Amino acid sequence: MTQQQRAIQTRPRTAPSPTRPRRP
C-alpha cells in the first residue's frame, strides 16, 4: 500500500467530498 492510498483512507470525514460539488 502506498503512502498516498493510506492518506486517502485516513482522511477525516469532515473533509468535503471531491465527487460532490458544492451548491448554494
Has residue 8 got a pLDDT over 60? yes
Please give the model's pTM, rounded to 2 decimal places: 0.17
All three cell numbers of 18, joined, read 471531491
The whole-number average pLDDT for the span 11-22 is 66
3-state secondary structure the chain: CCHHHHHHHCCCCCCCCCCCCCCC
The whole-number average pLDDT for the span 15-19 is 67
Mean pLDDT of the chain: 65
All three cell numbers of 20, joined, read 460532490
For residue 12, which phi and psi values (nearest 5 degrees)?
-65, 145
